[in-house]
Amino acid sequence: MSRSTDNPYDMQIKLLMIGDSGVGKTCLLLRYANDSFSPTFITTIGIDFKIKNVEIDQKKIKLQIWDTAGQERFRTITTSYFRGAQGILLVYDVTDRRSFDSIRNWISQIQQHADVSVNKILVGNKCDITEEKVVSTAEGQKLADEYGIDFWEASAKNDINVEQSFISIARAVKDRLIADGVGGPSKGGGTFQPKDVKKGNGGCCK
């Protein structure tokens, strides 16, 4: 398949990261997109995104990864982004039981606002902090199995399973779009940007 200079990729995929504030969504994204990590916690304001070009199964894919704020006051912004997402990473903190319990609420939001066929993946971040871990690997796997989605425990700080998590969800979306007959750059569309949404720079913890 030939690609013009305007469309140097076979497919564009929009991924969305959701989860409570402080679970490390931004750190996972920065580790994957920039191979960087900052221990400083700065709350994401509204929404931000990164672009990552990857090749999966001989397909050149442009990933557009949206990082959302987890606070309740930004929830309306977040839900407006569900409609444009093709894949969603549900992130919790393995050292924070409350963030794990919130996953069901986030899945409920997805069911209300996202496309019915959107791909999902569950990611338990901060797996490097073993001494403070309160959510077991088995619990994470059980929840993922309940919803029929993939599960990874990851660490943005130590770069554990970060790339694997993003590639896993990207591959699932790619396979679904190809099966549905969707896929070239012309079908991927431009940058997804709902109206009246403020962009902010985020930082995070582990």
What CATH code is carried by the domain that includes residue 171? 3.40.50.300
Does residue 206 lie in a domain region? no
Decide which of 126 and 203 is more confident: 126
- The model's pTM: 0.81
Residue percentage of the chain with pLDDT more than 90: 61
- Confidence at residue 177, expressed as pLDDT on a 0 to 100 scale: 93
Band of pLDDT at residue 35, cut at 50, 70 and 90:
confident
Band of pLDDT at residue 50, cut at 50, 70 and 90:
confident
Does residue 5 lie in a domain region? no
**SS3 sequence of 149-189:** CEEEECECCCCECHHHHHHHHHHHHHHHHHHCCCCCHHHHC
pLDDT tens for 64-83 read 999 876 665 556 666 777 88
Does residue 193 lie in a domain region? no
Does residue 18 lie in a domain region? yes
Does residue 94 lie in a domain region? yes
Domain span at residue 182 reads: 11-188
- Confidence at residue 74, expressed as pLDDT on a 0 to 100 scale: 55
**Which residues are within 8 A (CB) of 10 and not within 5 positions of it... i.e. 6 or more apart?**
1, 3, 59, 60, 61, 183, 184, 185
- Confidence at residue 180, expressed as pLDDT on a 0 to 100 scale: 87
- Mean pLDDT, range 112-119, rounded to an integer: 92
Does residue 3 lie in a domain region? no
Band of pLDDT at residue 43, cut at 50, 70 and 90:
low
Domain count, the chain: 1
- Confidence at residue 71, expressed as pLDDT on a 0 to 100 scale: 61
Does residue 2 lie in a domain region? no
- Confidence at residue 90, expressed as pLDDT on a 0 to 100 scale: 97
Band of pLDDT at residue 59, cut at 50, 70 and 90:
very high
| Residue 174 near residue 61 (C-beta atoms within 8 A) | yes
pLDDT tens for 122-181 read 999 999 999 999 999 999 999 999 999 999 999 999 999 999 999 999 999 999 999 988
Does residue 73 lie in a domain region? yes
- Confidence at residue 80, expressed as pLDDT on a 0 to 100 scale: 74
Query: What is the distance between the alpha carbons of residues 92 and 95, in angstroms, rounded to a whole number?
Result: 9
